[in-house]
Amino acid sequence: MSDNRLGIVVAGSLSAGLDIKLDGSASVEDMAVGTYVVVEGVKSSLFGMITDISLEAANQQMAITPPNVSDPFIAEVVSGTAVFGKIKVRPQLFMGSDARSLLDGPRPVKTVPSHYSKVRLATEADMERIFGAEDAKHFHVGNPLDMEIKVCLNLEEFVKRSNGVFGKSGTGKTFLTRILLSGIIQKDIATSLIFDMHSEYGWEGTSEHSKKVKGLKQLLGSKLAVFTLDEQNARRRKVSADYIVEIGYDEIEPQDVEMLSQTLNLTQNACEAVYSFAREFGYGKWLSGVLALEGGEETRILLDRLNVHESSFRNLRRGLDKLSRLPFLVAHARDNSVKRILEYLERGVSVVLEFGRYTDIAAYILVANLLTRRIYDRYRERTERAMGSDETSPQPLVITIEEAHKFLNPQLANQTIFGTIAREMRKYNVTLLVVDQRPSGIDEEVMSQFGTKATYLLDNERDVDNVLMGVAGKNELRTVISKLENKQQTLIFGHALPLPVVIKTREYGSAESYQDFGFKDAAVLKKKAEQDKDELW
């Protein structure tokens, strides 16, 4: 079909979608859920997505007694008339043809086209009109299925709210997150603090079959710094870390331990005992004080005075002993890690914090919550001060966390700093980018606050329901998600895009892809980085 014509509108509604009868020349086998089409009405055009495909017959008798289609002539006669294909299209944007419409751009659709309006495949020109071209604030994240046109995300809108990347393990969440972060940092839209649980974002990461790919440090150079909790791991990997993180006992507050109650199997009484010990020893000395208690008569007298049951104390000690075995947790830190991270962020340098071999979820929750709470307090202070003076507000900060359901589940979402950030959006210029394979574990109120979501294949109905919570047309989008391939295909929707779109994520990992990102000096950066490593080791 030279004009890309598919068929005509025969029925439908704005809420349920449009029924399109395919022309005989349009093969139903060429149709795909997630493909975009244009419905050309009498006065305007509508832009929509194919959400379902079906086979129909003009007469039920055709299904009961099928004709002999082995005869090419009979097959040609019945195809498109007696039997035909039908697609369901959800109209999403109105595209007027007058001067005002061209100036204002596509708008939300509020009507349906007339009967027998023509329907055609969207062209590259249509897609460019909808998604725009890559510029200072728009960033190419992938391509629509079976099209070479670039789908661009509005990064300025993206960082205004917290966002999420979801999908089963191995579908490509980490790759998309690297792509999003590289765009945000490269275009100076925001700085980012990335809690890198599996060492995938800093110096280098891995792809399928353990192939190595460049991390953000190799591509962004001085725009990003690598901090690590595990100096030995960095040495073995020959990674030039900018800073070795240590956390002192005096930096651990009762709220940090309460956050770990589920992970450390602490009872409610044990969590309450933490506050009693903090009042007794002082908030900067309570952890050292508890770890120094060795039992005996003096300890029993202290527990009686604080009204702490001995079983609660033993439960608390078991949890704290587990924390104290983490090598980066020391009695007296050599430097203030929070202060150093803030110095980098306030200079516009993003930070990747690698956990090395400390992939235990207790270490991840402790460090991520502790650092984020203090950094958020600093950003809130600076923003409030700027409101009352001529001081410039801090540049937006995007905090990236994995295993987000551990921080944002219904039991903890109201207690953690991450829940506060997600609900407040960009009130203090701090938002989240969460990466998770179990979105059903995230609190529904928090999930509803996410501005833009990217979801790869999910096979759990509860996960799909939580991701699509509050989204118009969720039933149609559920069908789209179920038809995604296992890798590289994702449905993106929300504030940073004019409408939901299924894309094949752009390539990341080859020399050509790095240059396509705009890292034209990638070879120079690598040479300099190798020299830095040689000097260090």
Q: What percent of the chain has pLDDT over 70?
A: 91
Evaluate if residue 306 carries a pLDDT over 50: yes
Q: Judge contact between 356 and 233, C-beta under 8 A.
A: yes
- Determine how β-strand 397-402 pairs with β-strand 430-436: parallel
Neighbours of 34 (CB within 10 A): 22
Rounded mean pLDDT, 447-467: 92
Going by pLDDT thresholds of 50, 70 and 90, the confidence category of residue 1 is very low
Going by pLDDT thresholds of 50, 70 and 90, the confidence category of residue 179 is very high
Distance CA(537)–CA(117), nearest Å, equals 69
Going by pLDDT thresholds of 50, 70 and 90, the confidence category of residue 73 is low
Question: What is the architecture of the domain spanning 154-244+336-468?
Answer: 3-Layer(aba) Sandwich (3.40)
Side-chain half-sphere of 46: how many Cα atoms within 13 Å?
Answer: 24
Evaluate if residue 425 carries a pLDDT over 70: no
Q: State residue 340's pLDDT score.
A: 92
Q: State residue 296's pLDDT score.
A: 84
The encoded tokens of residue 414 equal 């109201």
Q: State residue 537's pLDDT score.
A: 40
Q: State residue 146's pLDDT score.
A: 74
The encoded tokens of residue 359 equal 């992939």
How do residues 398-421 score in pLDDT, each as one tens digit? 999 998 888 888 887 777 888 888
Q: State residue 2's pLDDT score.
A: 46
Rounded mean pLDDT, 124-153: 85
Rounded mean pLDDT, 19-34: 88
Q: What percent of the chain has pLDDT over 90?
A: 39
Q: What three-state secondary structure class fits 83?
A: strand
Q: Give bridge partners of residue 164 from the DSSP assignment.
A: 434, 453
Q: Which of 98-112, 460-474, 480-494 shows the lowest mean pLDDT across its residues?
A: 98-112
Q: Where are the domains of the chain?
A: 5-131, 154-244+336-468, 249-324
Going by pLDDT thresholds of 50, 70 and 90, the confidence category of residue 101 is low
Distance CA(80)–CA(86), nearest Å, equals 10
Matching residue, tokens 């007298």: 301
Label residue 356 exposed, middle or buried (CB < 10 Å: 0-12, 13-18, 19+): buried
Question: How far is C-alpha 384 from the geometric centre of its chain's CA atoms?
Answer: 28
Evaluate if residue 252 carries a pLDDT over 70: yes
Evaluate if residue 21 carries a pLDDT over 90: yes
Evaluate if residue 283 carries a pLDDT over 90: no
Q: Tell me the pLDDT of the chain averaged across its residues.
A: 86
How do residues 287-299 score in pLDDT, each as one tens digit? 999 999 987 888 9
Distance CA(275)–CA(254), nearest Å, equals 6
- Determine how β-strand 212-214 pairs with β-strand 204-206: antiparallel
Q: Judge contact between 352 and 228, C-beta under 8 A.
A: no
Distance CA(131)–CA(144), nearest Å, equals 11
Distance CA(299)–CA(287), nearest Å, equals 15
Positive/negative CA dihedral, 480, 482, 488, 493: positive
CA distances from 193 to 6, 355, 409 (A): 47, 13, 21
Distance CA(383)–CA(394), nearest Å, equals 7
Q: What three-state secondary structure class fits 489?
A: strand
CA distances from 312 to 289, 296, 302, 412 (A): 16, 16, 13, 21
CB-based contacts of 230-235 (< 8 A; 24+ apart in sequence) = 230/327, 230/328, 230/354, 230/355, 230/356, 230/357, 230/358, 232/356, 232/357, 233/199, 233/354, 233/356, 233/357, 234/354, 234/356, 235/537
Q: Model pTM?
A: 0.83
Evaluate if residue 532 carries a pLDDT over 60: no
Q: State residue 115's pLDDT score.
A: 92
Evaluate if residue 211 carries a pLDDT over 80: no
Label residue 229 exposed, middle or buried (CB < 10 Å: 0-12, 13-18, 19+): buried
Q: State residue 505's pLDDT score.
A: 92
Q: Give bridge partners of residue 358 from the DSSP assignment.
A: none
Matching residue, tokens 């502790």: 370
Evaluate if residue 209 carries a pLDDT over 70: no
Matching residue, tokens 């998770």: 436
**Angle CA 333–339–344, to nearest 5:** 125
Matching residue, tokens 């007696």: 82
DSSP H helices, 20-140, are 61-64, 72-78, 99-104, 124-131
CA-CA-CA-CA torsion for 270, 271, 273, 277, nearest 10 degrees? 130
Q: State residue 430's pLDDT score.
A: 92
Question: How far is C-alpha 530 from the geometric centre of its chain's CA atoms?
Answer: 31
Going by pLDDT thresholds of 50, 70 and 90, the confidence category of residue 536 is very low
Rounded mean pLDDT, 524-535: 51
Going by pLDDT thresholds of 50, 70 and 90, the confidence category of residue 95 is confident
Q: Judge contact between 375 and 345, C-beta under 8 A.
A: yes
DSSP string, 153-203: EEHHHHTTS-EEEE-STTSSHHHHHHHHHHHHHHTTS-EEEEEETTS-SSS
Q: Which of 75-84, 187-196, 346-355 shows the lowest mean pLDDT across its residues?
A: 75-84
Distance CA(122)–CA(451), nearest Å, equals 26
Evaluate if residue 361 carries a pLDDT over 70: yes
Side-chain half-sphere of 435: how many Cα atoms within 13 Å?
Answer: 24
**Angle CA 404–409–413, to nearest 5:** 95
Q: Give bridge partners of residue 501 from the DSSP assignment.
A: 492
* Closest C-alpha among 510, 463, 529, 462 to residue 175: 510
Q: Which of 2-11, 61-70, 118-127, 146-155 shows the lowest mean pLDDT across its residues?
A: 61-70
Q: State residue 533's pLDDT score.
A: 47
Label residue 441 exposed, middle or buried (CB < 10 Å: 0-12, 13-18, 19+): middle
Q: Judge contact between 78 and 16, C-beta under 8 A.
A: no
